[in-house]
Amino acid sequence: MTDCLFCKIVAGEIPSQTVFEDDDFFAFRDISPKADTHLLLIPKKHIVNLDDLQPEDEALMGKMMLTVPKLAKQENLEGYRTITNTGAKGGQEVFHMHFHILGGSELPGF
């Protein structure tokens, strides 16, 4: 998708502090961190949000979930919070699906 901020980050057109990349996923530090460690994990495929998932995305989503603890380990997080906002009313501001991974200090109650 040409006019998507996170697609541009994957393509290297917008710089980011990349922490992980493989064939399917890209992870980078949030520009406005809400915790000591605040990562964004995204699929390289442009998927808008959970509501946009198709049956053929099942394996990709499984792999995405398995990537979360890999990143947490890489960042030495003992505990962490994973959030994905869906839709403007769900707090989503960037419409390319992403998992927030927050940790690094004691997180407040949710």
Q: For residue 104, is it left (φ>0), alpha (ψ between -120 and 50) or beta?
A: left
The answer to whether the beta carbons of residues 67 and 48 sit under 8 Å apart is no
Tell whether residue 89 is a contact of ligand 5GP (CB under 6 A): no
Closest CA to 69 of 60, 78, 61, 57: 78
Candidates 1, 14, 65, 83; binder of Zn ion (CB under 5 A) is: 1
For residues 31 to 70, the per-residue mask of contacts with ligand 5GP, x marking binding by CB under 6 A and - elsewhere, is xx-------x------------------------------
Among 25, 26, 28, 80, binds ligand 5GP (CB under 6 A): 28
* Pair of tokens at residue 53: 């998932």
Tell me how far apart the alpha carbons of residues 40 and 10 are, in angstroms, rounded to a whole number: 12
Active-site positions? Answer: 98
* 48 touches Zn ion (CB under 5 A): no
| Residues near ligand 5GP, by CB under 6 A | 5, 14, 16, 28-32, 40, 85, 91-94
